Amino acid sequence: MSKSTFLQLIRPGLCIVAAALMLSTVPACIVAEELVYEPVNGNVAYSAVESLRYREPDARIAYGDDALQFGLLWLPALATDETEGDTRPPVVVLIHGGCWLNAYNIAHTYALSTALADSGYAVWSLEYRRTGDAGGGWPGTFDDVMSGIAHIKTLDRFALDTDRFVIAGHSAGGHLALLAGRDSPAATAVLGLAAISDIKAYATGSNSCQIATPRFMGGTPQERPDAYREANPREHLAHPTTVLLHGSSDILVPVNQGLMVGARTLFVAGGGHFDWVHPGTRSFRVLLSTLQSVLAQ
């Protein structure tokens, strides 16, 4: 990597220099000021998530040739030279939701990525082709996610502990995360945040996200039974450490989607669908405690 390219990857305010990366050492640094997200009541609206402040990512890295095949990397506060032991942070692979539609992109999870990084995690947040994009839909969307996860080892140059990573996805991204866990035995855990665990049942519903499911799948369950079987987390073995986090007041992804054989479920009373991507909610605090728990195992 050239010096100019490296400097484009690192956010202003960090004192890392190109030589430090080449030597695989990181000096003591001053990091950007941590954003504070004020506590809010549960069941927040999507508009409240869109208006949140966030920190720009530290790097944008392509994992494929398409313009939408990239990940954004947020780095946590760096340890000082005096810190003992392995200070490399674990990685959260984050898969955003949005009904698999290209009307909703990675941007609405910027605040979530910022808050997770400020809590000590490196965040590898994936963009991917969605319904409406060339190559998007089933199975192209899932193929993108798997390619993005496979790219995690290339992040070693940022002094991250890529052997400890959690795959976390919200809503439709949760569906993709659960499927990815099936094929990612090296992952420490899989977290489904308001995840769609039964896409076959979900496709029969009538809310705005449910009616988008046949578009993503290229047909109804009756028209494409084999595709739905392959794309349905409930019809496959879950990753050994799978946790479903669900709000009891979620109306976009009904609470019965928060149950799956082989997974542990945590319900948040009064929690709504978008609480998981708003760092001021109780649901976010539950997410943090869950990450701490699964990474400690």
| Nearest partner of 285 among 116, 77, 83, judged by Cα | 116
Question: Mapped to the 3 state alphabet, what secondary structure does 249-267 carry?
Answer: CCCCCCHHHHCCCCEEEEE
List all residues 6 or more positions away from 170 whose beta carbon is below 8 Å from its beta carbon: 95, 96, 97, 109, 112, 193, 194, 195, 276, 277
- Which overall architecture, per CATH, does domain 40-296 show? 3-Layer(aba) Sandwich (3.40)
pLDDT band at 213 (very low <50, low <70, confident <90, very high): very high
Q: Could you state, in order of their start, the residue ranges of all structural domains in the chain?
A: 40-296
Q: Are 211 and 205 in contact (CB under 8 A)?
A: yes
| Listed residue (245, 90, 266) closest to 171, CA to CA | 245
Calpha distance 187→165 (Å, rounded): 6
Give pLDDT tens digits for 228-271.
999 999 999 999 999 999 999 999 999 999 999 999 999 999 99
Report the pLDDT value the prediction gives residue 3, as an integer from 0 to 100: 30
How do residues 148-205 score in pLDDT, each as one tens digit? 999 999 999 999 999 999 999 999 999 999 999 999 999 999 999 999 999 999 999 9
Strand ordering across the sheet containing 70-74: 59-62, 70-74, 122-126, 90-95, 161-170, 189-193, 242-247, 263-268
Which one has a higher pLDDT value, 79 or 278?
A: 278
Dist. CA 275–CA 278, nearest whole Å: 5
Q: Can you read off the two tokens belonging to residue 2?
A: 């050239």
Please check the confidence at residue 80 and state whether its pLDDT lies above 60: no
- pLDDT tens string 37-78: 999 999 999 999 999 999 999 999 999 999 999 999 999 976
Q: Residue 180 — φ and ψ, nearest 5°?
A: -65, -35
This prediction has a pTM of: 0.88
Distances (CA, A) of 177 to 76, 82, 112, 242: 22, 37, 16, 10
Whether 274 contacts 287, CB under 8 Å: no
Helix (H) or strand (E) holding 286: helix 282-296
* pLDDT value, residue 85: 52
Q: Which residues pair with 126 in a beta bridge?
A: 71, 95
